Amino acid sequence: MRTLGLVLPTSLDSATAEARGSDRVASELFDLHAPGLYRLAAAMLRDSAAAEDVVQDTFVRLVAHLASGGALSNARGWLYTVAAHCCRDRQRRSGRWLPWRSELDSRQSCDAPDARDGSDAVLHAIGALPSRDRLLIVLRAHGLSYSEIAAAAQVRASSVGRLLARALDRLSRQLNSPPENAV
């Protein structure tokens, strides 16, 4: 794969990483995958600062992995798996993985609605899904294969299609259900 004149690795052994320099390899992978990893983490955690931390933690782990002589047979899959694990770890540690309740929300809404093309409804519906459903949908939206999704979500590869179909059905029901505060 070529991007901006750089040949970016899809797989990497320890000799290749050593020859190219693990920092340079990590930098190339960061340029290629950081935006997607951020979107994954933001969708899972619903917090931009925490999502940035997850991306940083993922690449710190990558540099440590490469420095210890570790190989990457699938760099993209490895990064998304580590990012998904970091998100789950944050969710477990936070103990705040509770559904949104309007009476506890003190944020003020802006007077003018966003000028998006209806994507707010989709983002809200995705945000209302269970964590695993959000993870599956976001990973598939980023183009990961079923085997990569299985590794990141810690499910059997043979179950990914069924789980993803169910997640998409729940998303569809969320999008087609009337708003809770409609009169």
Task: Write the pLDDT tens digit of every residue in 29-51.
Answer: 999 999 999 999 999 998 999 99
| Confidence bin at 165 (pLDDT 50/70/90) | very high
Q: Give the CA-trace dihedral at 21, 27, 32, 34, to 10 degrees.
A: 140
* pLDDT tens, residue by residue, 96-153: 545 566 776 676 665 555 544 567 778 888 888 898 999 999 899 888 889 999 988 8
Architecture of domain 10-96: Orthogonal Bundle (1.10)
Which tops the pLDDT comparison, 80 or 111? 80
Answer yes or no: are the C-beta atoms of 164 and 149 closer than 8 Å.
Answer: yes
Helix (H, G, I), strand (E, B) or coil at 108: coil
Residue 115, SS3 per DSSP: coil
Q: Two tokens at 76?
A: 């993209």
Beta bridge partners of 6: 3
Percentage of residues of the chain with pLDDT beyond 70: 73
Query: For the domain with range 118-176, which CATH number is right: 3.30.1490, 2.10.260, 1.10.10, 1.10.3470?
Result: 1.10.10
Q: What is the pLDDT of residue 117?
A: 52
Domain extents for the chain? 10-96, 118-176
Q: Which residue type sits at 13?
A: D
Residue of 57, 63, 88 whose CA lies nearest to 75: 63
Read off the pLDDT of each residue in 57-70 and give the average, rounded to a whole number. Answer: 90
- What is the DSSP code (8-state) at residue 128? T
Lowest-pLDDT choice from 7-21, 41-55, 83-97, 129-143: 7-21
| Confidence class for position 15, pLDDT limits 50, 70, 90 | very low
| 82 has pLDDT over 60 | yes
Above 60 in pLDDT, residue 156?
Answer: yes
pTM of the full structure: 0.54
